[in-house]
Amino acid sequence: MEKSVFRSKIEPQHVDFTSRVSISSMCDIILYVAGLDAHNRGFGIDTLAGKNFGWVLSRMCVELDYIPKEYDEFTIHTWISDYNRLSSTRNFTLTDDNGQIFARAVSQWCMLDFDTRMPVDMNTLAQVHDGTIVDSPSPCERPRRLGAVSGEPIAEHKVVYSDIDFNRHMNTMRYIDIILDTMPIDELEKLQTLRMDMNFMKESLYGDNLQLRGELVDNKRVYEFSKGDAGALCRFSFEFNNIEK
């Protein structure tokens, strides 16, 4: 089994005010390629006929050695390296036209039974992974487990129409943007390198009232979205070079 290869480009709609790709658009590009590869390979879909199962993103990390700018083109390699009872690991490298790998990502996916909203044991679905595993390790440290974030909310957000995607969940890119919107804009202007980790525990739906908490821990900005009594929904950690140096 070989890695899948895609070409990609930073389009005008992906850039922020610095004319470089926004962090959320970079994730969108990577997740788009994940969807495309799964679609092209019929990954899991054929074997799931008649079951209301689907892939749900559980954890992800992204590392950027520099922030690509508008019209930059690059090659994305993606492959599934392994799976266990609860999740399947999809990896990514992004290579620029000088042959340099400038970005790496690792994503972990659960299979959700949409009727019960419970994860499906992968071992009962072993054939889903038949012939999909590429014997190549993840290109960077895997997504970290992020701890609870304390303190008072720094922002509140009601989930609206433009936040939700086809399954009526709050979209991953909107979580990222809502966090970035709370940061000083000159931090984002100075951004040179990035490591981001994401943990998704529970979904949020149209009309939900979310609280965002954030704090600085060991030079990392960590954030947690929660929903009243339902507790934590997802957590994010950002390491910016301009914080560390």
Which pair of structure tokens corresponds to residue 45?
Answer: 């879909």
Residue 47: φ, ψ to 5°? -75, -10
Residue 175: φ, ψ to 5°? -55, -50
Residue 37: φ, ψ to 5°? -65, -45
Assess 194 for contact with a copy of itself (CB under 8 A). Answer: no
Of 166, 216, 229, 245, the one binding a copy of itself (CB under 8 A) is: 166
Tell me how far apart the alpha carbons of residues 101 and 210 are, in angstroms, rounded to a whole number.
37
Assess 35 for contact with a copy of itself (CB under 8 A). Answer: yes
- Rounded alpha-carbon distances, angstroms, from residue 72 to 10, 20, 132, 137, 168: 5, 9, 30, 27, 32
Of 113, 141, 165, 215, the one binding a copy of itself (CB under 8 A) is: 165
Of 42, 162, 218, 229, the one binding a copy of itself (CB under 8 A) is: 162
Tell me how far apart the alpha carbons of residues 56 and 113 are, in angstroms, rounded to a whole number.
10
The CB-of-212 to a copy of itself minimum distance in angstroms stands at 13
The single-letter DSSP state of residue 120 is P
Assess 70 for contact with a copy of itself (CB under 8 A). Answer: yes
The CB-of-182 to a copy of itself minimum distance in angstroms stands at 8
Q: Which residues contact 130 (CB under 8 A, 6 or more apart)?
A: none
Residues 115-154 that bind a copy of itself (CB under 8 A): none
Assess 168 for contact with a copy of itself (CB under 8 A). Answer: yes
Of 1, 5, 32, 148, the one binding a copy of itself (CB under 8 A) is: 32
Of 65, 82, 96, 177, the one binding a copy of itself (CB under 8 A) is: 177
Q: What DSSP line would sit under 85-115, residue for residue? A: SS-EEEEEEEEETTS-EEEEEEEEEEEEETT
Residue 32: φ, ψ to 5°? -60, -45
Residues 8-27 that bind a copy of itself (CB under 8 A): 11-13, 15-19, 22, 24
Which pair of structure tokens corresponds to residue 161?
Answer: 């129409």
Tell me how far apart the alpha carbons of residues 125 and 139 are, in angstroms, rounded to a whole number.
26
Of 10, 28, 83, 195, the one binding a copy of itself (CB under 8 A) is: 28
b (16+ CB within 10 A) / e for 65-79: ebbbeeebebebbbb
Assess 185 for contact with a copy of itself (CB under 8 A). Answer: yes
Of 60, 67, 128, 188, the one binding a copy of itself (CB under 8 A) is: 188
Return the range that interacts with a copy of itself (CB under 8 A); candidates 74-82, 91-99, 133-141, 172-180. Answer: 172-180
Assess 57 for contact with a copy of itself (CB under 8 A). Answer: no
Return the range that interacts with a copy of itself (CB under 8 A); candidates 46-54, 74-82, 107-115, 155-163. Answer: 155-163
Binding residues (CB under 8 A) for a copy of itself: these are 11-13, 15-19, 22, 24, 28, 32, 35, 70, 160-162, 164-168, 177-178, 180-181, 183, 185, 188, 206
